[in-house]
Amino acid sequence: MNEVIGIIIAAILCWLNFVIVDTYFGLPEQPGVKGARIVGEDVKKRGGDIAGGFFQGNVLCSPDASAGTLLASIGYLLLGIPGGIIAAFFVFIGNRLCGDPGYAGTIGSLTATIIVFICSFVGFTPEMFIVGMVIAILTIQGISQVRASIILGKIAQKFNRHAEE
C-alpha cells in the first residue's frame, strides 16, 4: 500500500479509536488527575469547551487511550501481538502510578492492537499507525486547542458524557 495513503487512513482509524474509547470511559466528564482540571479550566477560560478541556488535560497528564494506541503500535512493531499486550500491561501500571482512575488506557491499547492486527492483512504496517497516531494527537492538542475542545465537547454530548457545569 502507498505509504502516504496508509498513514492518512491509519491516522483516521487511530483518531476514531482513541476518541471513542476515551469518550466512552468518561474522560470529558471529570478530570481523572489534578493537572487535567487545570488544563480544562484554562481551555474554558480561552473560550473552549470544559468537557473538551478535561479530555485534553486527561490525554496530556496520564496515559489514556491516546498513549495506549501509540504504545500498542510501537509494541506491535517490535514484538507483534504480544508486544501490543505488553504495552497494554505497561499502560495499566502507568495509570496506577499516575493515580488515574480510568479504564481507557488499557482498553484503548488492547483495541489498538486488534485494529493493527486486522489492518495488517490489508497491507497496513505498524509504522503507519505510529505516524498516524502522532498526527491524530497533533490534531487534538497541537493545531488549535480551543477549536478541538469544542469538537470534543460535541462528541462528548453525543455519548452523553459531557461534564455538568
Partner 1 sequence: MFDLVYSTVSFASYGNAFGLSNVALSSFDILLAYIVAIVVAIIVALVLKLPLLPSKPYRYSFDVSALYPTPVIAIGILSIFLVLNYTFIYNGIILAAIIGILSALFVKYLFDFVFPKPLDESGEDGVQ
Stretch binding partner 1 (CB under 8 A), from 45-53, 74-82, 140-148, 150-158: 74-82
DSSP secondary structure, 48-100, as one string: --HHHHHHHHHHHHS--HHHHHHHHHHHHHHHSHHHHHHHHHHHHHHHHHHT-
| Mask for 25-64, x = binds partner 1 (CB under 8 A) | xx--xxx--x--xx--------------------------
Secondary structure percentages of the chain, helix, strand, coil, to 5:
75, 0, 25
Question: How many of the other CB atoms lie within 10 Å of CB of 45?
Answer: 10
Minimum distance, C-beta of residue 128 to partner 1, in the bound complex (Å): 14
The residue from 15, 54, 55, 76 that contacts partner 1 (CB under 8 A) is: 76
Q: Which is nearer to partner 1, 31 or 132 (CB)?
A: 31
Residues 85, 40: Cα–Cα separation, whole Å: 31
Residues 62, 32: Cα–Cα separation, whole Å: 8
Q: Which is nearer to partner 1, 91 or 150 (CB)?
A: 91
Q: Please, which of residues 80-139 interact with partner 1 by CB under 8 A?
A: 80-83, 85-86, 88-90, 92, 95-97, 99, 101-103, 106, 110, 117, 120
Q: Which is nearer to partner 1, 47 or 101 (CB)?
A: 101
Residues 22/55, Cβ–Cβ less than 8 Å: yes
Interhelix angle 65-79/81-98, rounded to 10 degrees, is 150
Which residues of the chain form contacts with partner 1 (CB under 8 A)?
Answer: 25-26, 29-31, 34, 37-38, 76-83, 85-86, 88-90, 92, 95-97, 99, 101-103, 106, 110, 117, 120
